[in-house]
Each structure stands twice: as C-alpha cells, then as structure tokens.
Structure 1
Amino acid sequence: MRRRTFLIAAVGALGTSVLAACTPQPRPTRSPSPTPSPTATTQPPASAVPQPASMLRSRWSVDPFALGAASFAAVGATSASRDDLAAAVDDRVFFAGEATSRDAPGTVSGAIDSGSRAADEVISASDGSERIGVIGAGVAGLTAARALLDAGYDVVVVEARDRVGGRIDARTGGSWPLTVDLGPTMIADGDEALHSAVVAAGGDVVSFGRADEVRTAAGTAVAVSGVGAAAVADAVEWSSQQPHDVPLSFAIGQSEAGALSTTPDEAGVSDADWLSHQLDSVVQPRTSATDERLSAWNGGATTPGDGVGGAIPLAGFGTLADELADGVDVLLRSVVTRVVTRNDKVSLRLRTGESLTVDRVIVTLPLGVLKSGSVVFEPELPLPKARAVSILGMGDSDRVWLRFDEPFWSTDATVWSTIAAGSPVGLWVNLLPDTGYPVLVGTVAAAEAARLAAIDDDATVLAELLASLEPFLDEAKRADAEGTGTATPTPTPSDAQSG
C-alpha cells in the first residue's frame, strides 16, 4: 500500500495551507513556437476552413446557475470530501448532484445515482406523508423527485432556470438535423444502465465508431506515442511518495516527466509535445481541470479515457430529463437564495421574496453555486461539509457544435486532436461517419474553456475554432485556398449562437 493511503486522514487545514503554497511547475516547452492566444479584441487571421452553416456553444463557467461544468478533485480533496458533501444535515437537509458521487463524479450516471441515494435517505428518515422540497431540476433532482413521488410523498421541485435538465441542455430545431446537447453528449462505454434509461425515455442511440487521428499544425498525421501517458503516470507515482498532495503540474516538474526532451523528431514532434498533448487532449477534457489545479494523488490523471463515449443519443439527454420530469411539480424561474431550518421545518426563500415551507429538502445545487455563496444556509453548514465545498474543485468544460454544408475534411477518423501549441480545442468528434451529417463537436476544457466563455463575441470565438481545424483541411481544398489567395472571411456575430 502506498504511503499516501495512511496520510490522507492526517491532512487538515494546516496541511491544506501548505499545499496551496506549492508553486506549480511549468510544463516542458513544446518544440513548435507557441502562437499568442487571441483575446476578445484580437482576432486570428482568416482561416482557409469554410465557415459553418451553424454554430452553438456552451458557456458553463459564466452561467449563474452552474458556474462551471463539473467537479474535480483539487489538491487536498479525497473521496471522503465527496462523502462529506453528500452527508445529510440533521436529517432535514439532504444533498445530491454529480459532485457528491464518489464513484462517478462529473457524469450523468453519477448525478442519477446521487439522486436515488438522497431519495433513499429521505425515505429512511421520514414517512410518506411529508412534503419534500427539491432544489434543482437537473437529473439528480428529478431522479430524487421521481423516486419520492413513487413512494407516496408530496414533492415540489424548485428550479432557477426556465427549463428542466440543469447542465443537460438539449436544443432542437432550426437548421440542425439532430439534437444539439450543450452538456454531456455521449454515453460511456459499458454504461448499460444509462443506455437503457435513454432508450426507455424514447431516445434513439447509435454506436460510436471510435477512430483516432492526431495531426501536427502543418496537417501531418502522426502515430500516437505513449510517451505523454507514461510521463503523467511517472508524475503520479512520484507524488505518491510525497508526504502531502500536490498539484499535478508540480509533480510533473519534480518527476522525470519534467525532463522530457524538447528535441523534435522528423515530424517536428518532441517527447515534451506528447506530454502536453496528453494533458490538453486527454486529462483536461476528462477532468475539466488544468494540471495546475488537479490533485496529483486523487485527480484521476492516469484514469483511462478522455471523456468520449461509445454511443451517441441522437436526441441528446433531453428526453431522459423530460421523462423524469413528467408529472413532477416543478416551479420554474424560481431562484432559491436561503435555506432556513427551524422547528423541524425547512423554509426555502426565493429571490422574489416568496417562501416555500417543506418538511425536508434535497439540495442539488452545482458545486460552483455552493462555492459562490449565493445560497445562504441557516444554520450554517457543518464544518466538514463547508470544507468539502471549499476544497473540491469546480472545473470548466464546454461543447461547441459546428454544422457544415459539406465536409471540408477527407479523413474518416472520428476523434481528432492536434499536437500543436495554441489550439483552444482539446479534441474534436466527427459525427459524419456515424450520423451522416457533417457536424463536428469540440471539447474546450479547463483554462481555455474559461477564457472563451468570457468572450461574448461569437465571431471572435468562431475564428479561433476554425483556425484550430486547419490541420484537418482536405489537401485539395487547402491547395485551392492557397492558389487563389482566398480564405474564409471573418464571420459576423449573426453567423453563430451561444448556448
């Protein structure tokens, strides 16, 4: 057993402050010269990639009812932190949501399971004659509400948005030939329970045929190297021998991973580039966190996968949310500002000045909202729960959907990534082979997600996205563009839409 197993319980407030003082180590420098990232006032040159017919993107970090996409294990956080977050307070205030899931945080399945758990806890602590409030109409809240209704309880769900689903945000209609889900987009390999639930809710599901392709900035396809994954594993192993948890970036800088060669090979790619590729295209899309914030001990940096699943729900996960909400009393556009527990009752105070009294409540607020303090609890949350809210991280991850009139690419690969500095997109999923539609779905994660979400101008963001796709431009189309000296004009804001 590793030494850290014995030390986790001993890391308290003092240990956490020591960890925060660790200076993150920079990644090894990539061999290509980085291109400065465009800002809201600086657009990249016009791209040879054609302008899409439609664009939709999420911006979870600036969404006031999410303030982030998914939770992650920041430095000092453990599975026990999630248990503390999930723990009920005096059998009156219960907690659910993906951040409370020990086994599957950051996933639809984790949220569903947490809702079932919270409902079971309420049932064990009460009887079926009580009125139960649920804050949040995401799948965690709706799952809990559905279970309690089936058990004979009077249930009311209070939702701040004008729709159900929470971070499931399925869009239909317009020029889109399939549903655009701006939250989770795929079902993980082997998740039969979620697959069955989506199908039972009336959603069509197609298998996703995964085929990866990595290209350089010049458009050269290169064989995937295991150097990056091995380097991350070395850093995690190094961290396991240390007395305190540290950021993954610090572990990389102190371990053998920090000494990777920056000398490029014939394709212009170095070992250090492969490490950056592993972080940008695998670790960050899966965890929604930068290596500067991710726990080296418990952040899951070496967990297999990048978040791309094995099946595509063509109607998104919206059908599942709608099915769960059917028959449930949901108060939309109702923002809770205070949760007050007194005399065996819980009062939910709304922004409108109104209040709602229930016997018990299940809180499914996203971790980002709990961190913001926009919802006040009276009495204050117990110290272990407050510490869990503080120490767990809320990560950033956004989806961008681009629909083209015809493909500008010739590859049949379905998962694209680039080993090039300056690309804001960790990976692209090509839906053409499995759906027949020339649609690309990009995952923008961690710092890049936060940066792009802060840009209101969709045209600026779209220009960056198109530039990141240039390595996959069909050679004939590239030659035509270079021969005529033309490129796609900078799009106007009306050409794109934000989620």
Structure 2
Amino acid sequence: MKRRTFLISSLSGLSLLALSGCAPPKPAPTGTPTPTATPAPSLVPQPQDMLRSSWSDDPFARGSYSFAAVSSTPQQREDLAEPILDRLFLAGEALSDTAPGTVQGARGSGQRAARDLTSVAEPGERVAVIGAGAAGIAAARLLSDAGFTVLVIEARDRLGGRIHTVNSDSWPMPVELGPSFIVASNANSLDEELTGLEVSHAPFAPTPEARTPDGTVTPVSPVGADTVTAALAWAAEQAQDTSLAKALVATGSTTLSMTDGEAGVSDADWLDYQLATSTTLESGAPADEMSGWYAPAPATTAMDDIRIVLGGYGTLVDDDAADLDVLLSSVVTRVGYTDTSVSLRLGTGESLTVDRAIVTVPLGVLKSDVIEFNPPLPFAHRGAIAALGMGTLDKIWLRFEEPFWDTDAAVWTTVGDDTLDFRVWVNMMPITNEPILVGFVSGKQALGLAKSDDTEFTDAALRSLEPFAIVATATPAP
C-alpha cells in the first residue's frame, strides 16, 4: 500500500497505530510451516564505490543550510549580522538576506562582516575568524588584504566547512558532498571565478524525468506546484504566519483526488511529488516546519540559470585561503568579549586574546549552544538563532561499472511511492560520460537515515533507483 501525501499519511499512521495496539494477537499456525519466500534479486547492481554525507550528524555543521521556519522573518537574518560592541561579528549563509543557503550568500555575508569590522578598526589589529568555510575564508581574505593580522580557527582538519570536495583515485572526478551547483549564476560571479581557477563547470537544466514505481515515464502534472502556490498565496494574506502544512490544509489539499489517473498517479501523489522533489529539497525541512510566508515558491529559478561544478568546488576556498594563517583541528568552546577585546578558549584548554573576532560557525552549531558566549549574545541575536530553522539535505554518490539504465535524462524523480527515501537523482553520464549517479535525501527522511551505517544508507538508495533499472526480457523456455 502506498501513502498518498504527507498529510494523509500522518492521519493514516495514527489510525494504523491505534488499530495495531488494540488488535488481538494472531493465533500461531499449526502443522508444517510455510517456507519463507526468497526475495527477488534487485534490478539495481551493487556500486563499485560509494560516498555519502551526513550533515545533521556532523558536530561542526548540525544541518545543511538555514531555512525560514514558522514565525521567523528575514529581519532576523539582519539582526544576526549586527556587530556586537564593535568587537564581535557574525557571518554565514544564515545571515544572508539575499541568498541564504548558498555559497554566494555565505561568501557575501563574510565579506560584509569584514567590511563592518574594517570600518571601526585600525589596520594591524589582531582579528580571529572562527570557521574556515566559505564565509570565514572570504572574511579573512578581505581582512588580510586590508592589513589586519588574521588568524583563522577551524574545528575540522580541513578547509571548506560545508563545501566538502573529495578527491580520490577511485573516482574519475572530484566528489562534492556539499554544494554542487551555482544557483542564479547570471546574478553572481562564482562561475567566472571558477573559470579563472580553471575549475570546470557546465550548464545544468534541471528538467526532470519522472517515473512511477513500475518504471513508467510520466509527464509532470502541474497539480502539485499549483496546490503549493495556492497555499502560499493564502498564507500571505493571513495576519499571522503559519506553517506551509497548515496552509495546504486550509486551501483544501486533503481533498485532492486519490483516484489513480494517467500512469496510476493521483492528484494527491503529485502534491507529495512537489513537496518531496522541490519544496522540501530547497529548504531541507518538512512542510510542517516551513513558514507559510517565506517558504520557497515553486519554479523560482530559471532553467538556464544553474551550473554544475565538475572540477572541485573546494578550489574556490583553497585559493582564497592561500597564505592565510589557519589553525586546523581546533574547537572554540568559549567566546568572551568586552568593549576592548575578545578572548577565546579552545577545546585543548588554550586561550588567546584578540582585538576583534568574526564568528562564522553554522546556524546549527549556534542553536546547539556548544559555544559559550560571555556575556550571552544580545537578545535580538539569540531570538534570531532560536527562530530560524536549520534544514538537512544529504547526498549519496554511486559509481557503477556500467549503466543499468536506458535514459539520457540528467535529473530523475519518482512519483507515486513516498516510501522511497531518495526521490531526486542526478545522472552524471550525459555530463561526464561516467556511470555515476548522485542521490538526494532531505527533511525527515534525511534525519532518519543520518545515523544509519553505509550499508543501510546504500540499500535505501538502491531501492529508490529500481524504477530506473532496465528490466531484462525473459527468454521463453524451449
């Protein structure tokens, strides 16, 4: 039995739970037990190699990127960016008012914090930058070029933060476990910078090929996107913010037809499809946590405005970090500040004092309170940290010996079975001529898989790929 939508699934789940709790135990069978049937072999072969991310389980990330949670506002991103006593500054993608959740948003926020600092400081002052991700390195680069003495302190043993490029001899290309794309490339210079660094990238058209569980290719219905659009329009007219889930209920999503239409897909299935393959993917959060006022609207990015990075996103950070003083594998546990200096305590027990500091750790780390601020951050900053959400999106990269699929589509999606964890796949074959697939899992599904071992994670991915496997035609017996 397949579940139709996240709303109907929730109600059905409660009913099934109640029934299972009240049902009497079934009598044990007597006589000769029936042999257990051997499961049919999977149509998807085992991969030659696998790499995965688990950002929510990463203590130095605690999520993938920020999102607009219910009752949060864009102003709170601005509040977080306000300097504190002109000594302490915060930066990161969560503080970007124009491009949150993106590399360009993180870098822009870091540069903004550095400019705010330079406007109140004297060249030569000693500045600590906490975090060597896109925001931290961008801030440190600008400050160093402006004549400040900069020390970057990074908890990981590598640069990049949530930009995580893996170079391995067993892979024919760099593997991106963090961001892979340049979004809105017409509005920023990331593609030009990567070209200057001789990092290859290519246009990417995210037009999906949608398949049902039995592998039938079906045109994408506008029902799901139209339903979400109507819910967001309703939410925008309300006096108070509400979740996207409640907005969907209010606009009649629970009355969508569950009757199978073309290819056995119902209107309710198409709503689930929109949420799983687009809306939740963009925010990394389920609909019951997303703001109805600020949740991403369907199809807001132009099809010709996306590029995929093929030659190593991490090169961007490595180049900016050239000749910077970076202290790796050093966790900052306490940040003390006054109107004259900033003191830092490391996990090793060591302490140092600087004139000013920029904190660029992810929102998920700030929400976890693992860094002690003394005195506590101002109320507006703490309120913003509590209100904004941290979403999760994880990836799995699979390299096969040869393609087991027969489609040249670059993006694969599934509709009609929301028990599959990986609902979106990128086929690297037409882009790189390599039999590599990249799967995406987000929201509650990502959180559910985060602590699973590599075998469980891979098995979930392979099951999600079955609609795209070539079904061999059986040869009749002579």
Equivalent residues in 2 for 1:46-85, closer than 5 Å: 47-85=42-80
C-alpha displacement of 1:454: 1.6
1:300 Cα deviation after fit: 1.9
Q: Render the CA deviation track for 1:16-67: whole Å, top value 9, x for unaligned.
A: xxxxxxxxx952459xx9xx9xxxxxxx975220111111000000000000
Q: Percent identity?
A: 47
Are positions 1:437 and 2:422 aligned together? no
Q: Distance in 2 between matches of 1:317 and 1:307?
A: 21
Which residues of structure 2 form unaligned runs of 5+?
17-38
More moved, 233-242 vs 308-317: 308-317
Matches within 5 A, 1:221-236: 221-236=217-232
Preserved CA contact (<8 Å) 1:28 1:259: no
Q: Compared with structure 1, are the counterparts of its residues 309 and 49 closer, same or farther at alpha carbon in structure 2 (3 Å cutoff)? A: farther
Q: Is the 8 A contact 2:185 2:307 kept in 1?
A: no
Q: Which residue among 171, 174, 183 is the counterpart of 1:179?
A: 174
Whole-angstrom distance in 2 between the partners of 1:45 and 1:459: 19
After TM superposition, list the pairs within 5 Å mapping 1:125-164 onto structure 2: 125-164=120-159
Once residues 209 and 374 of structure 1 are traced to their aligned partners in structure 2, the CA distance between those partners, rounded to angstroms, is 40
Larger Rg: 2
Listed one character per residue, the Cα deviations across residues 283-321 of structure 1 (whole Å, up to 9, x for unaligned) are: 111111110100011122446259997322222211101
Distance 1:294 1:210, change over 3 A: closer
Cα deviation 1:311-335 (Å, max 9, x = unaligned): 2222221110110111110000110
- Paired with 2:86 and 2:227, the residues of 1 have a C-alpha distance of 46
The TM-score normalised by the length of structure 2 is 0.89
Deviation string, structure 1 residues 59-90 (Cα, Å, up to 9, x no partner): 00000000000000000011101111111111
Structure 1 residues 296 and 168: alpha-carbon distance in aligned structure 2, compared to 1, 3 A threshold: same
- In the alignment, is the contact (CA less than 8 A) between 1:286 and 1:307 conserved in 2? no
Task: Give the whole-Å Cα distance in 1 for the aligned partners of 2:268 and 2:476.
Answer: 35
> Equivalents in 1 of 2:207, 2:305: separation in Å?
12
Note the alpha carbon deviations across 1:183-204, whole angstroms, 9 max, x for none.
0011124344111122223312
How far apart, CA to CA, are the structure 2 residues paired with 1:448 and 1:302? Answer: 21
Distance 2:291 2:6 in 1: 16
Call closer, same or farther: CA 1:362–1:303 in 2, change over 3 Å.
Answer: farther
- Taking only aligned residues, the RMSD between alpha carbons, in angstroms, comes to 2.3
Which residue number in structure 1 is paired with residue 446 of structure 2? 449
What is the match of residue 32 of structure 2? none
Deviation at 1:257, TM superposition (A): 2.6
Of 190, 193, 216, the match for 1:194: 190
Map residues 408-487 of structure 1 onto 2, 5 A cutoff: 408-419=404-415, 420-455=417-452, 457-476=453-472, 479=473
Q: What is the identity, as a one-letter code, of the residue corresponding to 1:474? A: I
Bigger shift: residues 275-284 or 262-271 = 262-271
Maintained 8 Å contact 2:336/2:375: yes
Q: 2:109 corresponds to which residue?
A: 114
Residue type at the aligned position of 1:453? A
Of 334, 338, 341, the match for 1:345: 341
**Cα deviations across residues 361-394 of structure 1 (Å, max 9, x unaligned)?**
0010100000000001111111111000000000
Runs of 4+ residues deviating >6 angstroms: 306-309
In structure 1, stretches of 5+ residues that fail to align are 1-24, 37-43, 485-499
Contact 2:184 2:301 in 1 (8 A): no
Give aligned pairs, total: 446
User: 1:165–1:117: structure 2 CA closer, same or farther, 3 Å change rule?
Assistant: same
| Compared CA separation, residues 133 and 46, structure 1 to 2 (3 A) | farther
Question: How far is the alpha carbon of 1:127 from its aligned partner?
Answer: 1.4
Work out whether 1:331 is the aligned partner of 2:327.
yes
- The 3 A distance-change label for structure 1 pair 375 and 318 is same
Letter in 2 for 1:103: T
SS in 1 for 2:455: helix
Task: Tell me the equivalent position of 1:7.
Answer: none
CA distance in 2, matches of 1:444, 1:172: 23
Q: Contact 1:285–1:307 (CA<8 Å) still a contact in 2? A: no
CA distance in 2, matches of 1:111, 1:45: 47
C-alpha spacing 1:385/1:347, structure 2 compared with 1 (3 Å): same
The alpha carbon displacement at 1:258 in A equals 2.9
Q: Distance in 2 between matches of 1:141 and 1:46?
A: 48
Q: Is the 8 A contact 2:175 2:397 kept in 1?
A: yes
Kept after mapping to 1: 8 A contact 2:129/2:359: yes
1:10 match: none
Give the deviation of 1:218 after TM superposition: 0.7
Assess, with a 3 A threshold, how the Cα gap between structure 1 residues 342 and 241 changes in structure 2: closer, same or farther. closer
Answer yes or no: is the 8 Å Cα contact 2:337–2:374 preserved in 1: yes
Give the secondary structure class of the aligned counterpart of 2:386. Answer: helix
How far apart, in 2, do the equivalents of 1:144 and 1:232 lie? 38
Question: Matches of 2:354 and 2:445 in 1, distance apart?
Answer: 42
Q: Deviations over 1:373-418 (max 9, x none)?
A: 0001111111111000000000011111011111110101111000
